[in-house]
Amino acid sequence: MKSIVAIVLAAGEGTRMKSRLPKVLHQVCGKPMIEYLIDRLKELNIDRKIVIIGYKGSLVKEALGKRVDYIWQKEQLGTGHALAQYREDLTKFKGDLLVLSGDTPLLTTQTLKGLIETHREKDALATILTAILKPPTGYGRVIRHGDGTIRKIVEEEDATIIELANEEVNAGTYCFKKEAIFQALEKIKPENVQEEYYLTDAIEVLTKKGHKVSAYTTDESDEIIGINSRKDLALANRIMREHILDRLMLNGVTIVDPLTTTIDQEVEIDRDTVIYPFTIIEGKSRIGKDCIIGPAVQIRDSRVANKVEIKNSSIQNSIIESEARIGPYAHLRPKSRIGKRAKIGNFVEIKKSSIGRESKVAHMSYIGDATLGDEINIGAGTITCNYDGFKKYPTTISDGVFVGSNTNFIAPVKIGRGAVIGAGSTITEDVPPYALAIARGRQRNIKDWAKKRSQKRKRNTK
């Protein structure tokens, strides 16, 4: 949009969050809440985006990077004071200001567009976003004249009993003509319970002078929710999660029980994949088509190809190729790669390793810092001993190797193509291709030893 600058107010500490983080960096479905607003502004094609920062502002800058410009509010004296910090930078600008609170991540592009269009169509000096809330607790009330025109906004702490009964609330999102709002900000005073300069007081300054102030009321009251506490954060997560699951189901994903399924905003899932209960998919994970995920699966920042089946397992920052089978009770730690039609089974942990096509690690094994080729069978209880207390070492197992149960590979070690490792072996040296490696103590049977022990015990008990 042309001739408009967006300003996001994000300087406050958010004391009710009781957190070391700035409030706007708390996550809603996998993203800092302020990032949702930046995404909406990008969708509106607003080129100039300003974030007003204060409390631990360097963390906000680190999170948003160069996507926006920044203005510091060194003292947090209220929303009106925050906006006033930007006046000098707008000396040459002639247009509208879209002002948003950084703690309203549920706002939609459609609503913001409606607010801007209403502001311009009515040629108002100010336009406020409102909603009808039942109950309206926690929000400033929008007070209108008898003819329906806007009179003022009053914060809940300063409202009378009659004003508190009003169910139309201020969403904390505005569109202003630049000159009008800065002139109004010069007139406001911190005469309220918080002793702060309220941006909302500028509305009454304008209306008292007879200027036109309009409103755009959204029918979706949930989207104006501002996050001021951990309880608000949980509510926003629930609402956002419902939207995400609805979108996925409309796009052809089966979610068996939405009430027990959590999927982050940036997750992508292709059609005809089935998500079973108690599944959590986080970060920027990508899930292909025709997969079966769950029950009780956690996936974070991972790529899962088509026709993969994952049950009762945890996967972080890993890649799973098509038709692989994972679980139940497997753990894929970061930088693991599971090949096409490979099998990672019960109580298996994979760490920073590559498992080749059609290879199997089926039972109670640990594979760490290892490279496994294709069509390998790893017997139950196999361990790559990759750490000597100071440094990690690699294990390399070539195509077609058969590893017997309870084998220990003392890294660094390489196993040649087609080799066979006898069960119970501790491998400390490289094994040539197609060799049989057995590294265990020789079995010795002592004739009648158990019988003699039993007879001796009987004599001792007499």
Residue 307, CB-side half-sphere exposure with 13 Å CA sphere: 6
CATH class of the region 251-312: mainly beta
User: Do the beta carbons of residue 384 and residue 412 sit within 8 Å?
Assistant: no
Global pTM?
0.89
Residues paired with residue 141 on neighbouring β-strands, in sequence order: 154, 169
**pLDDT tens across 275-307, in order?**
999 999 999 999 999 999 999 999 999 999 999
Q: How confident is the model at residue 427 (pLDDT cuts 50, 70, 90)?
A: very high
Q: How confident is the model at residue 82 (pLDDT cuts 50, 70, 90)?
A: confident
**Tell me, what's the pLDDT at 33?**
97
Contacts of 343 (CB under 8 A, 6+ apart): 324, 325, 359, 360, 361, 362
pLDDT above 90 coverage of the chain, percent: 77
- Rounded to whole angstroms, the Cα distance separating 309 from 306 reads 9
DSSP per-residue codes, 90-144: GTT--SEEEEEETT-TT--HHHHHHHHHHHHHTT-SEEEEEEE-SS-TTSPEEEE
**Tell me, what's the pLDDT at 149?**
87
* Res. 395: pLDDT tops 80: yes
CATH topology identical between 4-224 and 251-312: no
Q: How confident is the model at residue 4 (pLDDT cuts 50, 70, 90)?
A: very high
Can you give the residue ranges of every domain in the chain? Answer: 4-224, 251-312, 337-462
- Rounded to whole angstroms, the Cα distance separating 325 from 164 reads 58
**Which among 430, 437, 426 has a CA at the least distance from the CA of 416?**
430
The DSSP 8-state label assigned to residue 443 in this structure reads P
* Res. 268: pLDDT tops 90: yes
* Res. 173: pLDDT tops 70: yes
Three-state SS at 383: strand
Mean pLDDT across the chain, nearest whole number?
93
**pLDDT tens across 182-240, in order?**
888 888 888 777 778 888 888 889 998 889 899 999 999 999 999 999 999 999 999 99
Helix (H) or strand (E) holding 452: helix 449-460
Q: How confident is the model at residue 391 (pLDDT cuts 50, 70, 90)?
A: very high
What is the mean pLDDT of the segment spanning 442-447? 89
What is the mean pLDDT of the segment spanning 363-377? 98
What is the mean pLDDT of the segment spanning 340-360? 98
* Res. 90: pLDDT tops 80: no
Catalytic residue check, 363: yes
Out of 145, 243, 331, 363, pick the active-site residue. Answer: 363
CATH class of the region 337-462: mainly beta
* Res. 432: pLDDT tops 90: yes
**Tell me, what's the pLDDT at 93?**
82
What is the mean pLDDT of the segment spanning 125-140? 92
User: Do the beta carbons of residue 308 and residue 332 sit within 8 Å?
Assistant: no
Q: What's the CATH fold of domain 4-224?
A: Spore Coat Polysaccharide Biosynthesis Protein SpsA; Chain A (3.90.550)
**Tell me, what's the pLDDT at 196?**
82
More confident residue, 153 or 348: 348
pLDDT above 70 coverage of the chain, percent: 100
- Rounded to whole angstroms, the Cα distance separating 235 from 321 reads 36
- Rounded to whole angstroms, the Cα distance separating 261 from 205 reads 48
**Tell me, what's the pLDDT at 462?**
63
Q: How confident is the model at residue 443 (pLDDT cuts 50, 70, 90)?
A: confident
More confident residue, 182 or 117: 117
What is the mean pLDDT of the segment spanning 349-372? 98
